[in-house]
Structure 1
Amino acid sequence: MNRTELRLSGSGGQGLITGGIILAEAALHDGLNVIQSQSYGPEARGGASKAEVIISDEAIDFPKVTDCDVLLSLTQLSCDKYLNDLKSGGILIIDESVKQPEREDIRIFRIPILETASSKLNKPMVANIIALGVIYQVTKLVSKESLEKAVLARVPKGTEELNRAALNEGFSLIG
């Protein structure tokens, strides 16, 4: 495994910072080293936001994403902003509302994350959990058990079944 750098990006209010924290906690459950950081625009909701997660089985000597392996973009703006940071051979996971970029040196997964949250679960706020399920299916960076444990520990009480369903939807979006 060594070191894998991930960036979860979109707009404020999509829960991507929480998603980054959950992914980091899942890595900790698996006994891996992890660093998680985040940033968002001053307008918070609707402004640009990103969470960065570095997962490694060795010591992490630099806490920032410098050579992004996996980029999740839920908005066109975030994809445009961070696409050039995705290294050759990297993985891009975009919502189907985002235009597929012209890059042949990366693997691209265009997935209906936001639509699934809105239409299938009737809860747009679980898009981040669906995205985590997709990230798991594509990367297998953490164990499924640790990811589910981290999700259920972090979501508001009373929403556990909704979030478990969202995670399972994310798993099923990748064939």
Structure 2
Amino acid sequence: MPREVNIRIAGTGGQGVIKAGLVLAEAFALEGKNVVQTQSYGPEARGGASRADIIVSDDEIDFPGLRRVDYLLVLHDSAYRKYYPQVDGETHVIYDSSLVNARRGLGFPFTETSIREFGTPLFANMIAIGALTAMLGLQPEKVEVVIQKRMRKAEENVKAFRIGFEMGRRVTKPKVVSHVVKPYILS
């Protein structure tokens, strides 16, 4: 039976967590995968807890909630504190080293890079999705198609995604396992 992959993207309102989850889910669907995407966010327009959960499988998905977290992508320290206790030793933790003080995982300066490249932190979510895409082995062209179709400022968002993809590609060497790519950190 093909393996199911469970992804949680977490941050705070205003970081584009929900949009990032929708983009990633649609890109997996374009690859022919079965996908369920759910989201949760606080009532605050900015600053409240926000998360997007994505389940990807070659088979039918019979339950819309995460049973476990295979990949946790965290964009804010408060989200790390909230969701890190729910992971296990098998979970791949990826975090924004600009904003998260993590105990373990792979940190990337998503926000710092966004500010340096674009003069604003607004593109950190697409940089993060780029890094995660490289680690998951998802075809980057599929993500770019979704970004161009669904996002305002598509050109900048595609550029941000490509920057993140290169970040993720530099630190991982994908190995295909049951139709799902698992990253191994290069020494």
**What's the TM-score, normalizing by structure 2?**
0.85
**Separation in 2, partners of 1:67, 1:133:** 23
Letter of the 1:143 partner, please give it.
Answer: Q
Letter of the 2:131 partner, please give it.
Answer: V
Does 2:160 correspond to 1:166? yes
Please say if residues 13 and 46 of structure 2, whose CA atoms lie closer than 8 Å, have aligned partners that are also in contact: yes
Identity of aligned residues (%): 38
**What corresponds to 1:100 in structure 2?**
102
Does 2:122 correspond to 1:121? no
**Separation in 2, partners of 1:149, 1:86:** 31
1:119: Cα distance to partner?
1.5
CA RMSD for the aligned pairs?
A: 1.2
**Separation in 2, partners of 1:152, 1:58:** 28
**What's the TM-score, normalizing by structure 1?**
0.91
Please say if residues 39 and 53 of structure 2, whose CA atoms lie closer than 8 Å, have aligned partners that are also in contact: yes
1:44: Cα distance to partner?
2.8
Unmatched runs of 5 consecutive residues or more in structure 1? none
**Separation in 2, partners of 1:100, 1:9:** 14
- For these two proteins, the number of residue pairs brought into alignment is 167
Please say if residues 148 and 158 of structure 2, whose CA atoms lie closer than 8 Å, have aligned partners that are also in contact: yes
1:119-138, Cα deviation, whole Å (9 max, x unpaired):
22223211111111010112
1:87: Cα distance to partner?
2.8
**What corresponds to 2:41 in structure 1?**
40
Unmatched runs of 5 consecutive residues or more in structure 2? 171-187
Does 2:157 correspond to 1:155? no
Please say if residues 80 and 102 of structure 2, whose CA atoms lie closer than 8 Å, have aligned partners that are also in contact: no
Q: Which runs of 4+ in 1 moved over 6 A?
A: none
* Equivalent runs, 1:53-68 vs 2, <5 Å: 53-68=54-69
Determine helix, strand or coil for the equivalent of 1:8: strand
